[in-house]
Every structure is written in C-alpha cells, then in structure tokens.
Amino acid sequence: MYAVIEISGKQQIVRQDEVVKVDRLTAEKGESVTITKVLAVGEGESINFGDPFVKGASVVFEVLENKKDKKVIVFKKKRRKRYEVKRGHRQYLSVVKVKQINA
C-alpha cells in the first residue's frame, strides 16, 4: 500500500516502512508525527483519491534524525563584466520512517 501526501507544500509518495527525507519538522528525534493531508491512498486498482484530501486517512511517521543536506553551490557569472558570485546552501532536513498508513 502507498500514499501520496502533502508535506511542507510538496507532494511525496510514501510506502510502509520506507525511510524518506522531508523538509525540517518541528518534532525531535524519536517522536511520532501524524500527517492528515493525504491526497491519495491505496494499491493497484483500489486507489482512493481525495477532494482535495482523503477523509479519515493519515500517515504516521517516526523522526529518525534532523540534519542538514549536502551543500549545493550556486555560482553566477557575467562574462566580460568581472562579475562572479559563489554561494553555498545547505537545506535543513528531517529523516523520517513511515510507521503506518491508515486508509
């Protein structure tokens, strides 16, 4: 069984016992988080789509860790103008494990 959820304004496909990286959550390591914004849930031919969310459906996560992602380098250059800017960015992430999908 899988579910399509909305978390931090982004859609994510999750399955049972899957480890997923999402934007930083307010929960600490070891806590459980329940997401009720489920867009679709099911498997194969029996998929329930919401309007916009499936009523009564939820996904329970366990937070494994909060960390920063790998550094992304942003480099801007305009040739012949002596303009170069190099910046880096590291996104805050939460690594979560899907414990239960309630349809």
> Tell me: the pLDDT tens digits for 44-99?
889 999 999 999 999 999 999 999 999 999 999 999 999 999 999 999 999 999 99
Query: What's the whole-model pTM score?
Result: 0.81
DSSP string, 30-69: T-EEEE--EEEEEETTEEEEPSSS-TT-EEEEEEEEEEE-
Domain boundaries of the chain, sorted by first residue: 2-102
